[in-house]
Each structure stands twice: as structure tokens, then as C-alpha cells.
A and B are shown apart, each in its own frame.
Chain A
Amino acid sequence: MNGEVTSNQARSSAFVVSEKKRKIQKFKQKTGEGALLLIASFVAIVVLFIFLFVARDAIPFFQIRGFGEFFGSSNWYPADDPPEFGALAIIYGSVMVTAGSALLAVPMGVIASICLSDILPFSVRQYVKPVIEMLAAIPSVAFGFFALVVFAPLLQNHGGPILMWTWWIVAAPFLVIAVIVAAELLTSSITSESAKRNASIATGMVLGAISLGFLYFVGNQLQHITIMSGTNALNVSIILSFMALPTIVSVSEDALQAVGRELREGSYALGATRAETIVKTILPAASSGILAAVILGIMRALGETMVVWMASGNSSAIPDPFYNYLDSVRTLTATIAGDMGEADQVTGSARFHVLFAMGLLLLIVSFVSNLISERIVVRQRKILSGQ
């Protein structure tokens, strides 16, 4: 379309304007286009430079200290003499808070995006979207401040009851539904209608009693947990999940929208309920796009600095036991931000370059996962448009 218009135009101007003028005009156009290309490729140059300059300052560290210590040891004593640069605990801390936030944000984000694209009417959606955008817009340091000043004392002083109430509010509805469904499934083989109803009520009551006991038991256990420090991996994971949510919701909503009406209508026509349509038809069709959304959301959590710096406790040791989210941790980003103040006086030392090594690690991880998510999106678009 574009090409047609320009060539037509060029041809028509050839009749009116002299050959020389036309050449000048063409030259102008070519140089202008070249200049535009140059500016557009600025982004690529910047990406190249970021890799180049971060790597340039990261490589001296590996030359001085090798790879073994950085990835194999968890002794982080950069200021000691002799210094130790074991970053294993710090890498693990990053993985831990990222996994924790993903655990919270992924199910919630995917379900919220389903709700946005398939359940909510358009008029309500208009009001929900700005909420998501605002959540995405709040500066990370404000989240960090909230985590440090409001949430951490709350967790420290009332951690047990908070955990217990959360458990009850989240788990109780699920168990109620599970009990009803299980009772119905267990008694489905009985043929007589009245016997079936009685049996299902009886099983329901037995299962209900068992699950109530389970709820109470776990809740009681949680209530008696004392949280030694409010600045811990749990706090950070929760706040990071708030920050990752908007990314996950908006990207996976796009993926869900890209699944056409035909699939939905076909499923409804076969008699499926809305939930069945979504779970069995739409989610599988949009799965790769949702995966891309999840990757982007996780990267957001992994790359976040201020929240983890302020509220993770910054202790560079692997929690004991390793899944203990109530322990303080330290992440790559927080280490870079926190140690640079002391290290940039001594440019050229391993202490300065180790921070760039961490930056390079983050950069590579984000680059690779970005490429993967991009490929996934492109492939999904091809599949959906091809069929």
C-alpha cells in the first residue's frame, strides 16, 4: 500500500518536475530516511553499549577471582581482609523472593485477567483498568517505604494472627467448594435419587468435619508463629507480587483477547459453562501468551531494587531451612545498590567489579527471558492468525 502510493507519486512528479530536481528530491528522501534509521537504531546501539560497558567492568572481577567463589560459596565479606565474594546466598535470595512473589502474583494475575477479558462487562472494565495502571505507576520507592514503615512492624507485632486470618479467608472457601464437589463425585454411582441425596449429605458432613479440623489445626499452628523481624522474604514477596500483578494482568489479558470469539462460541454451543469454556478451551489456546506474561512479571520482580533493598533485611545468608520465608534475605539488586556507595571509591578493585558482575548476571537473565517471551508471543500470533 505504502510503496504503491510513493511510486505513484514519484511517477506523477516526474511529468511535472525536471529530471534534476527529481534526483535532488530522491536524494533528500534517501538521506532523510537514512537519518531516521540512524535515530531508530539508537535503541539497538544503547542495548549493545549496556552489554558492553557492564561486561567491561564485570570481566575484571572474574579475572581476579574466577568463577568458583562467586557461584559456589555463600561467604559474602567484601570489606574484610582478605575479602570473600561468595554470592550464592545473594543469588538464592533473589530467586527466593522472585519465586515467592510469582507464587502469589501468577495465580491472582491470571485469574484477574480472565475476569477482565471474559467475565466483567465492558462498563466495569473501564473502571478496573485505571486501577491496574495506577498500581503499575506507583513508584517502587513508595512500595518500599510502605513495606518498611507500615507492613514490617505490622508483621513483626501481629504476624501470627495475620497469617491465621489470611489462611482462613483464603482456604475456607476453597475447602467448602472442594467438599461439595467431592461429596457429589463420591456418590455419583448411586442410582436411587433419594438415597443419593442422603448419601451425599452424609459424606459432605464427614468431609466437612475433617476439613474444618484441618483448617483449625493449620490456623492454630500459624497463629503461634512469632516473626522475629518484619523485614523478611515474606514481606518483600507480598509487596513484589503487587508490583508484578499489573504486568501479568495486562499482558495475559492481551493474550486472552487474541483468542477469537469463534472458540468461545463453539464451546458455549456444546453446552459448556463459562468456567468450563475458559479453563478447557480459552486457557489452553492462550497458554503461550500467558506464559510470556508470567515471564515478564517475574522479571519485574527479579529486577526490582528499592523494595528489596528497604524491606528484605539484607542479610546475606541462606535461610535455615531453605524455604523459611520468615528469615531475612539479600538480593542481587539490593547488593548492587547498597554496596556501590562504599565500593565506588575504589574503582579497579574486585569489590567494585563484583557489583558489575552481579549486574551482568541480571542483564543476561533478563535478556534471555525477554527473548523467550518475545518468541512465544510471536509464535502465538502466528498460530492464531494462521488457523
Chain B
Amino acid sequence: MNLGTRKLLDRSFTALGFGSIVIMGLALLVVLAPIASKGIGAIVFQGTIEHRKMLLSEFGRGDAEKISKEEASAKEARQKVFDMLATFDQELEQMDFDRQSKYRNSYEQVKSALRGLYGPLPGDTEPALMRFQYGQTRWDKAEEKLHELLYEQKWDYSNPDVIAKPYDVSRAAEFEGTSLVKLFSYVEENLDRMMLPEWTIYWGFITDSSIDAHFFGGIWPEIQGTIFLAIGAMLFAFPLGVIAAIYFTEYARDGFLTSMLRSANSTLAGVPSIVFGLFGLAFFINTMHVSHSKSVLAGSLTLAIMVLPTIIRAAEEAILAVPKTYKEASLSLGSTKWNTIVTVILPAALPGILTGGVISLGRAAGETAPIIFTAAVSVGTAIGIGDVLSSPTPALSWNIYNLASEHEAAAEIRHVQYGMVLSLVTIVLLLNLSAIILRARISKKLKG
């Protein structure tokens, strides 16, 4: 090969390297960007009058006088729609059976779309579920409902070779020639007068409890559960891990026992997270009976075992990084070995040990699989600190799964799911970021 080709190959190799680093950065960006942008939408959004009504009656927040004024003006705008419905009801009565059945189905869809917008229509019985007692609380969702009202979705099965495609049919055309036809253009033009959208910053999303399976309200029980579980895990794992690290670095002699213990440590680090869950169920709950069924305690213990190897490794590295001269100086002054460890080595290694602890805290907060069988429930209220020994808790990681995959109306509450994911990712990344900054400081300090 001549020099030109070799140079070309060398350059393309470099490009390949840069390319894969860029792909990694892009992967991070691609995953985080939608989560961040839509997650913020759970807190900052255009809230409708229904949102303010809900806040006032469920949480007692907001200016009652102003809201009742707004409600009155929204009601006035909506009244015309209700009148049109009443007129069409009468019209429908007088039609013959064939025409009635032609309209009935679509009319029911129109009504349910309107219920989605405004809440219960006049004449409806008071719905039992909270989610039906209010209309759309978010303007973006209200616009989706409007589309549902204006168009009927049909499926195109004409080509059997490809998947059926949806297409829209205008309802105004469907109801051509009846009195209802005016309703569609009226709602379309006056939607903002009926819903009164207003930019809202809803901090309650973080501090409120959820209402009716996350249709309204916030995610405080989940956040609290995550904090309880993560801190509980650290309470067990951190002291154990640091002591084990002290043993490995200061006392262990090379030999069969030490190498076996180290081997056990790396084995523990490699155990799949779901197996920890199985072990937690089989050992802590079914054998040790630390609690009657799932509990924060059992979950914390399981998580503690999971993060133990990480803590031990980080603490070991931190202790080994302490300059030998520190230790020798202390010993030469006549202090005992244990005294040296406690008063000289540990304080010097503390930032490094804390770094490992903070990263493990983030890992414990983010893990799902170990707590599925041991601590997490899907719906629940925030538990008191006294209940941690016996009762299970909702937790961010588990509830993200649950809301996204098992909730009966998962597509309706996407904003809550995004908000939860963003909260969890923020907690975990902030912890990691502080660990990174802490470590950068240490390395600066060690360099002098």
C-alpha cells in the first residue's frame, strides 16, 4: 500500500472513532430530549378553567372569586352548545327510525367528545369517577378533543397487503341538513372562550398527591417512596460497604480468603437486577418475614444488597488514593492502626467515599426490578415515616412502568408519565452530576 492510502485509512479510522463517540452523545441526547421537553409540559402548560376549578375544589388553591367569575363566562359560552344539543334532541325524536339510527351512533360520539371537553353535560347523572367530573384541564388535550369532535376516525381496509390506515371524516358533513351542523363551527371558533386557557406553572405536580389514578394531581407519593427506598438502602449499605472497604484495603492479606471475598464482590455486582428481586421475595419476605408482605423495609434491604459492591469498590479506590505518607506520619506519632484509620485515612478519603455513595444512591433510586416483588405498589397514598417497616409504597420507577404499560388509559395521561420520567431522571442525573463535580474537585486537590 502506498503512503496516501495508509494516510486515508488512518484518517478514516480516526473518523470512525469520533463517529462512535458522537453516536454515544447523540444516544444520550435523543433519549433525554423528548423526556425533558415533554416532561416539563407536566408542570408548565396552558391550563383551562377546568384545571383551576379542580385545583380549587380538590386542593383549595386559587382565587375563588375570580374562578367563579371565569366559570360563569365559560358557562355562558358553553350554554349555546347545550342549547343546540337540546334542539337536536327534539329533532331526533321526530325523525323516522332509519334516520334516527343513522345519526344515533355518531351523535353519541359527539356527546362523549363534548363530555371530554366540558365535563358532565346538563342532564347527565353525577359521574362516580373523578376523571369524568371535570372537563379537559389542559389546552393541548382540549385541542385533541376538539379534533375528535370535528372528525370521525375511520380505517382504510381497501388494500389488504398493507396495514389499515386511519383517515378523518368531517362530522359537519355527516350531520349536513340537521340543526346540529352549526355546533361544529361554533365550538371550533369559540373553544378558547369556553375553556379559557392560561399559562400555568403547576408546582403541585411535584408536591400533590394524585387523584383518580393520576388523572389529576401530582406525583408526591411516588417521589417520597423513591426517596424512602433509596435512603433506606443507603442506611444499610453505606456503613457496611465502607467497613468492608476498610478491611479489604487495610487488613486483608493476600490469600485464598481475600481473593474469594473479592470474587464474591464482583459476582454480586454482576447479578441481574431481577434476580435480586426474586431473592428479596424468597429471603426477606417469605423466609425472614421482615414484613407481612411487600414493604419499604424489604425493598430497601434488597436495594442495599444490590448497591453494596459499588460502594465497596468506590470506597476502596478512595482509601487507596490517600497518600501513604499520611498514614505513615500518623503511625509514627504512635497512634494505633484503628485510630489512624478513623482520624486520618477516612477523613482524607471521605469525598471519594461520598462520591461512590452518591452514585449508589442514584442507582438505588432508579432501579425498578428489585422492588417489583418487594416494595412497590401501583396506586397508593404517601406513607408516613412510621409505616416504612410494614407498608409498601408507590415509587417513581415502578409507577412509570405501571402508568405507561398497565394503566387503563395510558394514552390519556402521557404528560404525567413524561413528568414522572423527567423527575426520576433529574433526581438520578443531579446525584451523578454532583458526584462528578465532587470527584473533579478531589483530583484537583490531590494534584495540588
Contact = CB atoms under 8 A, between A and B. Distances in A.
Most chain A C-beta atoms within 10 Å of own C-beta, residue among B31, B35, B428: B31
B278 A54 contact: yes
A274 B9 contact: no
Contact of B27 (A5, A41, A44, A245): A245
Interface string B156-191: 000000110000000000000000000000000000
Contacts of A356: 278, 282
Contacts of B19: 111
Interface stretch (B10-18, B58-66, B83-91, B123-131): B10-18
A56 B8 CA distance: 60
Given A114-B17, A138-B428, A337-B369, A43 B309 contact: yes
B369 A177 contact: no
A25 B334 CA distance: 14
B424 A133 contact: no
A385 to B, nearest CB: 15
Contacts, number: 287
Contact of A273 (B7, B163, B305): B7
Contacts of A278: 13
B12 A137 contact: no
Contact of B305 (A46, A131, A144, A146): A46
B424 A142 contact: yes
Contacts of B10: 273-276
B16 to A, nearest CB: 6
Contacts of B400: 141-142, 145
A69 to B, nearest CB: 21
Nearest to A136: B432
A181 B276 CA distance: 52
B6 to A, nearest CB: 6
A275 B106 CA distance: 68
Given A54-B279, A56-B282, A336-B278, A112 B21 contact: yes
Contacts of A344: 281, 373
B273 interface: yes
A137 B362 contact: yes
Contacts of B373: 340, 344
Interface in B352-390: 359, 362-363, 365-369, 372-373
A306 B368 contact: yes
B80 to A, nearest CB: 38
B401 interface: yes
A242 B9 contact: no
B401 A366 contact: no
Given A36-B247, A370-B267, A138 B429 contact: yes
A146 B35 contact: yes
B261 A5 contact: no
A383 B18 CA distance: 31
A177 B4 CA distance: 12
Interface stretch (B41-49, B145-153, B196-204, B238-246): B238-246
A76 to B, nearest CB: 17
Interface stretch (A207-215, A257-265, A295-303, A321-329): A295-303
Nearest to A246: B24
B397 A47 contact: no
B243 A36 contact: yes
B235 interface: no
A135 B24 contact: yes
Interface residues of A, number: 101
Contact of A226 (B163, B372, B417): B163
Interface residues of B, number: 100
Nearest to A139: B366
A197 B365 CA distance: 63
B270 interface: yes
A141 B397 contact: yes
Nearest to B284: A53
Interface string A155-186: 00000000000000000010001001100110
A189 B227 CA distance: 71
Most chain B C-beta atoms within 10 Å of own C-beta, residue among A131, A132, A137, A304: A137
B272 A177 contact: no
Contact of A112 (B24, B359, B405): B24
A340 B334 contact: no
B282 A53 contact: yes
B17 A336 contact: no
A134 interface: yes
A50 interface: yes
Interface string B240-270: 1001101110111000000011011111111
Contacts of B397: 139, 141, 306
Contacts of A370: 266-267, 269-270
B312 interface: yes
Given A5-B331, A133-B432, A135-B27, A355 B368 contact: no
A305 B398 CA distance: 12
Contact of A347 (B278, B286, B337): B286
Nearest to B363: A137
B328 to A, nearest CB: 7
Interface string A264-288: 0000000001111011000000000
A387 interface: no
A149 B244 contact: no
B359 A367 contact: no
A150 B337 CA distance: 56
Given A133-B432, A337-B274, A274 B425 contact: no
A337 B370 CA distance: 10
Interface string B213-250: 00000000000000000000000000010011011101
Contacts of B266: 370, 374
Most chain B C-beta atoms within 10 Å of own C-beta, residue among A50, A141, A242: A141
A337 B16 contact: no
B93 to A, nearest CB: 43
Interface string A19-50: 00000010001001100110111111011011
A54 B282 contact: yes
B350 interface: no
A143 interface: yes
Given A138-B31, A139-B425, 10 more contacts: A39-B243, A135-B28, A141-B368, A142-B35, A146-B35, A150-B34, A181-B1, A249-B24, A366-B270, A370-B266
The 6 A-B residue pairs whose C-beta atoms are closest, nearest first, are A303-B272, A139-B366, A115-B17, A275-B13, A40-B247, A44-B264
Interface of B: 1-2, 4-10, 12-21, 23-25, 27-28, 31-32, 34-35, 162-163, 240, 243-244, 246-248, 250-252, 260-261, 263-279, 281-283, 286-287, 305, 308-309, 312, 324, 328, 331, 334, 336-338, 359, 362-363, 365-369, 372-373, 397-398, 400-401, 404-405, 414, 417, 421, 424-425, 428-429, 432-433, 436
